[in-house]
């Protein structure tokens, strides 16, 4: 396993003067990073670390509640695409996807992900930050209302804090989308325009480190993200590995203070015909995780020992049509023409979150 520093992109330079030579250089750097690594780090002065800390505290408190309370916030009838998803519900894609298992088999044994033995022990909460489209969508089941926790202590702050942090993440990832588009020679708004009505999700992920804090434990098995771009705030507990261009070396990613991590998803891969590939990644308990657990026990003894990833999934519009691409050398295979809503439903089926009944009702 290798430890690398992903390229750090300045969104501030780009936003202050988008047509300047410095901004265009940052845009090319962003596009190159996504093409080479499927990931990058971004600095955005608009993002508040204090807001990130407040968000992490609130979500830790939420997932520290008893299971029977959390179950009230599940919405399996919507494919768990809003509200809570508890541990054991989501199965890593590589348990069902032939292409994914082939990628793992092609890696050197020392560079392979942890062997997936079952469902992920992580929990999630999905909160939609969307603009309703001015048309009737072909996928109404992907346009469900948000869930507010039943706990009075959380209900009073939940919506405002989710919206505040979620908007910062959304603004930052849309900035990266604009930069990468320019870096590839496209119109600045080319991708953001096609995601104006996307089903964007603030999706904090939680792992109970009291139950699952043993070294080597898989918190999120080897997978790609189904959306366009994913952005993460810095977690209090490390654990992420990525694979550049889905092959070669397993990379230990460290996020510097003041940076956000952005990863390419399957919608971006499809739209570019594989020029940019969705990045495979996993989250496991490793020695640096154990060290962070011990520090947390000393510094914050009264706080829940829960790993939170402040993840945000940015999507293209559900009714946007992804183009077909014929198989070309280096382009990652054949991509069928389909609407984004159909692509989402297929991917959710692979991880066992989208029941057939939901698909039929869409």
What is the secondary structure of 121-163 as a DSSP string? --EEEEEE-----SS--S-GGG-PPP---S-HHHHHHHHHHHH
- pLDDT at 18 exceeding the cut of 50: yes
Residues 202-258: pLDDT tens digits?
999 999 999 999 999 999 999 999 999 999 999 999 999 999 875 578 899 889 999
Tally Cβ neighbours within 10 Å of residue 247.
12
- pLDDT at 355 exceeding the cut of 60: no
**Are 40 and 7 a contacting pair, CB within 8 Å?**
yes
Residue 302 DSSP symbol: T
In angstroms, the CA 175 to CA 154 distance is: 31
In angstroms, the CA 24 to CA 18 distance is: 7
Mean pLDDT across 149-154: 90
Residues 38-61: pLDDT tens digits?
999 999 999 999 999 999 999 999
Residue 196 DSSP symbol: T
Q: What is the pLDDT of residue 359?
A: 44
Buried b (16+ CB within 10 A) or exposed e, 78-110: bbbbbbbbbbebbbbbbbebeebeebbeebeee
In angstroms, the CA 64 to CA 122 distance is: 13
Higher pLDDT, 355 or 202: 202
Tokens of 269: 């891969």
pTM of the shown model: 0.92
What is the distance of C-alpha 245 from the center of its chain? Answer: 17
- pLDDT at 358 exceeding the cut of 50: no
Q: What is the pLDDT of residue 268?
A: 97
Residues 59-109: pLDDT tens digits?
999 999 999 999 999 998 887 889 999 998 877 767 667 888 888 888 889
Residues 291-327: pLDDT tens digits?
999 999 999 999 999 999 999 999 999 999 999 987 5
**Are 261 and 173 a contacting pair, CB within 8 Å?**
no
Question: Alpha helix locations (H) across the chain?
Answer: 11-16, 21-37, 49-63, 67-71, 98-106, 152-183, 190-193, 266-271, 287-299, 340-350, 356-361
Q: What is the pLDDT of residue 142?
A: 62
Percent pLDDT > 90 in the chain is: 71
Residue 1: pLDDT band (50, 70, 90) is: low
Residue 349: pLDDT band (50, 70, 90) is: confident
Q: What is the pLDDT of residue 119?
A: 86
Q: Is 312 helix (H, G, I), strand (E, B) or coil?
A: strand
Q: What is the pLDDT of residue 245?
A: 72
What φ, ψ does residue 281 adopt, rounded to 5°?
Answer: -160, 165
Q: What is the pLDDT of residue 329?
A: 47
Q: Is 57 helix (H, G, I), strand (E, B) or coil?
A: helix
**Are 262 and 322 a contacting pair, CB within 8 Å?**
no
Mean pLDDT across the chain: 90
């Amino acid at each position: 396993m290798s430890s690398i520093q992903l390229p750090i992109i300045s969104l501030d330079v780009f936003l202050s003067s988008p047509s300047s030579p410095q901004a265009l250089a940052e845009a090319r750097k962003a596009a190159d990073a996504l093409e080479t690594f499927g990931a990058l780090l971004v600095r955005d002065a608009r993002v508040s670390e204090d807001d990130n800390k407040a968000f992490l505290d609130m979500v830790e408190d939420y997932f520290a509640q008893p299971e029977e309370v959390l179950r009230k916030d599940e919405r399996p009838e919507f494919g768990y695409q809003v509200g809570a998803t508890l541990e054991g519900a989501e199965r890593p894609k590589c348990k069902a996807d032939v292409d994914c298992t082939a990628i793992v088999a092609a890696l050197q044994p020392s560079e392979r992900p942890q062997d997936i033995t079952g469902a992920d022990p992580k929990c999630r909460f999905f909160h939609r930050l969307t603009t309703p489209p001015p048309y009737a969508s072909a996928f109404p089941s992907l346009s469900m209302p948000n869930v507010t926790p039943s706990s009075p202590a959380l209900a009073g702050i939940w919506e405002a804090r989710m919206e505040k942090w979620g908007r910062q993440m959304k603004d930052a990832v849309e900035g990266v989308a604009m930069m990468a588009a320019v870096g590839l020679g496209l119109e600045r708004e080319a991708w953001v325009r096609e995601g104006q009505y996307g089903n964007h999700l603030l999706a904090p992920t939680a792992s109970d480190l009291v139950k699952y804090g043993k070294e080597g434990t898989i918190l999120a098995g080897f997978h790609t993200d189904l959306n366009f771009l994913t952005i993460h705030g810095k977690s209090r507990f490390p654990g992420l590995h990525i694979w550049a261009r889905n092959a070669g070396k397993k990379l230990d990613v460290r996020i510097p203070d003041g940076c956000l991590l952005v990863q390419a998803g399957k919608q971006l891969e499809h739209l570019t015909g594989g020029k940019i590939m969705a990045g495979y990644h996993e989250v496991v308990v490793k020695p640096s995780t154990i060290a962070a657990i011990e520090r947390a026990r000393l510094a914050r003894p009264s706080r829940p020992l829960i790993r939170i990833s402040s993840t945000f999934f940015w999507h293209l519009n559900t009714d946007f049509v992804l183009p077909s691409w014929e198989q070309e050398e280096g382009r990652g295979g054949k991509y069928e023409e389909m609407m984004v809503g159909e692509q989402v439903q297929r991917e959710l089926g692979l991880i066992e979150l989208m029941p057939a009944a939901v698909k039929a009702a869409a």
